[in-house]
A = this chain, B = another copy of it.
Amino acid sequence: MEHPLPECPIARFLTVLDGPWATLIVRELLTGPKRFTELRAALPGISPKTLSSRLRRFVLIGLVTRTAYPEVPPRVEYRLTPAGTRLQVVFDAMAAWAEQDLPRTGSARGADR
C-alpha cells in the first residue's frame, strides 16, 4: 500500500470490509474455501468484475489465498488466511447484535430498553 492506513483501528478495519459485498464475500469464505463460481452463486447480484476485484484486493492484503490446481479444466480456489479466519469473531458479534436488536421487521428492538 502506498500510504499508511488510518491510525484508528475502526477506520483501518473499514479499508478492508468497506461495504456489503466485501463483508458478504468474507461471510461465504468463513464457511470454507470456495471457487469463483461458488461465490458468484452465493451472492446474487454481484458482478464478476466486483467479485474479482474484491478477491484480488483480499489476496493483496493477505486476507485470502488463491490456489490454482493443475487440473483440466483448471480449478481455482479462494481460502481465508489465518488473519482472515480471525474475522469470525467480528461476524459473530455482528450476527448476535442483529439477532437481538434488529428483527426482520426492521426496527431496532431495543430502541427504548
Contacts and interface: CB of A to CB of B under 8 A. Distances in A.
Nearest to A26: B10
Number of copies: 2
Contact of A12 (B15, B16, B61, B104): B104
Contact of A23 (B1, B14, B16, B61): B14
A97 B91 contact: no
Given A83-B110, A106-B61, A108-B61, A91 B7 contact: no
A4 B111 contact: no
A110 B98 contact: no
A49 interface: no
Interface string A1-29: 10011111111111110111001100100
